[in-house]
Amino acid sequence: MQILKIKGHESFDPNKRRNWSASTLQEVAECPKRYVLRRGNFPSIWRKSGFPTKSSSAQIRGIVVHALVSKVVDFVESSTETPLQAAMGYLRKNGGYVELLKATIEVELDKLKGNPRSEMFIDLFRKELVSEIASLRNQTQFFVNKSLTHFKSTVPDAVGSANLTGSTKKKIGIVNSEFHIEDASYPIEGFIDLLVVGDQRDRILDFKTSKDIHPEYWEQLKLYAWLWSRCAENQFPKETELSIVAGIGTIETISLTHEDLLSLERDISAKITESDQLISLKEPMAIPTAENCKFCAVKVVCDDYWESSVGSNAGKTDSWGDLRVRITSDLGGGNWKVTFLDTGEIGMLLLGERDDGSISVDAEVRLLGVFKKVTEDDEICIRLSQSSEIFLYSPPRK
């Protein structure tokens, strides 16, 4: 992996019109600074907006499964055949789940091109995802089968077959996948994995590729139910059943009455106001905790992380972690003498072939996912793995 040169974040416009979602409200509640940094501009590293994320095969797996479930359900919804016939026909025509999954994986991997933190892992991700194709197939099939149970066994009988206008974008039927709702009064939106419109009650289903069901999943579904209760195309708001379908066999369900949903409004409105305020501060608050920072995509540009006990990897013990050093002299062969910025200790950074000539004395280097080894001579050496990241850091313009 190349050495990336970063200058901190250059700009973030808090006044830019943005729609909140369950996940972005949650992100601001966890750490406002993360929200802001993730949406800043980093022209020194790439031309797109936001900080590039380091993807993983687990992340791509979730996206691929959701995309394929949506494709099958959309086809069934638009077909004049029975749901089972339509799904079987679609799968047969496209080579079955395995071929469809492979094609969807390629679409997602293609999106990583140009991402300086992920592009070099495309082949590795492909290999990992293809090696678990049987498990992806089981997962997708489980979600598709769960979706099919909500279709009537005859030709779909559209509840309201007109194209939606205004706040929603898709044609509404009995079963609607990836249903987008943008609220007309509040700046907030949601994508419902599966919305099933019924006579007695409506159902909202969310598919999670994780095995466990976390409390925030319910917050997300309640928000979707609230959005749906206010949606212009919801002509008869009624009790809503919320289900989380997780792993390949877990389903949990709760019900909300229309009155429950109405009472959510105050809470959601307060969260939106608070989030707007938190991200518009000149120095958005950082909340460096082990849980928040462990997988934070922007920790390398977050000084609060490096200056906190969470980001400090001090001490003479062998360990994996993140390190911040200043280069003090060139030892040759891609090896550098360094000073650890949080302790002042001296050590050696062993870059070997990954030294591309961009490092020089006095530079600040931020390292993610490296191994700190204490040698028999009591020297601290920093070693890299294939996935370790090296950033040459210079502070942002003031």
Query: What are 6's strand-pairing partners?
Result: 393
Number of H helices, E strands in the chain: 11, 12
* Contact indicator for 194, 147 with CB cutoff of 8 Å: yes
Identify which of 303, 325, 311, 305 has the alpha carbon closest to the alpha carbon of residue 396.
303
Q: State the Cα–Cα distance between residues 386 and 293, nearest whole angstrom.
A: 21
Question: Smallest gap, in angstroms, from Cβ of residue 231 to ligand SF4?
Answer: 33
Q: How far is CA 82 from CA 87, 89, 100, 148, 159, in A?
A: 9, 10, 21, 10, 17
Both tokens of 202, joined, read 């409506």
Identify which of 271, 219, 261, 220 has the alpha carbon closest to the alpha carbon of residue 240.
261
Query: Which residues are at the interface with ligand SF4 (CB under 6 A)?
Result: 31, 33-34, 37, 286-288, 292-293, 296, 298-299, 302, 304-305
Question: Smallest gap, in angstroms, from Cβ of residue 310 to ligand SF4?
Answer: 7
Q: How far is CA 101 from CA 58, 169, 178, 321, in A?
A: 14, 26, 18, 34
Question: Smallest gap, in angstroms, from Cβ of residue 177 to ligand SF4?
Answer: 32
Q: Give the residue with the Cβ less far from ligand SF4, 296 or 327.
A: 296
**Dihedral of the alpha carbons of 343, 344, 347, 348, in degrees to the nearest 10:** 110
Question: Smallest gap, in angstroms, from Cβ of residue 208 to ligand SF4?
Answer: 22
Q: State the Cα–Cα distance between residues 359 and 40, nearest whole angstrom.
A: 25
Q: Give the residue with the Cβ less far from ligand SF4, 39 or 61.
A: 39
Q: Give the residue with the Cβ less far from ligand SF4, 34 or 222.
A: 34
Q: State the Cα–Cα distance between residues 31 and 38, nearest whole angstrom.
A: 11
Question: Smallest gap, in angstroms, from Cβ of residue 285 to ligand SF4?
Answer: 9
Q: Give the residue with the Cβ less far from ligand SF4, 3 or 287.
A: 287
Q: Give the residue with the Cβ less far from ligand SF4, 32 or 190.
A: 32
Question: Smallest gap, in angstroms, from Cβ of residue 370 to ligand SF4?
Answer: 17
Q: Give the residue with the Cβ less far from ligand SF4, 202 or 304.
A: 304
Q: Give the residue with the Cβ less far from ligand SF4, 79 or 308.
A: 308
Question: Smallest gap, in angstroms, from Cβ of residue 332 to ligand SF4?
Answer: 34
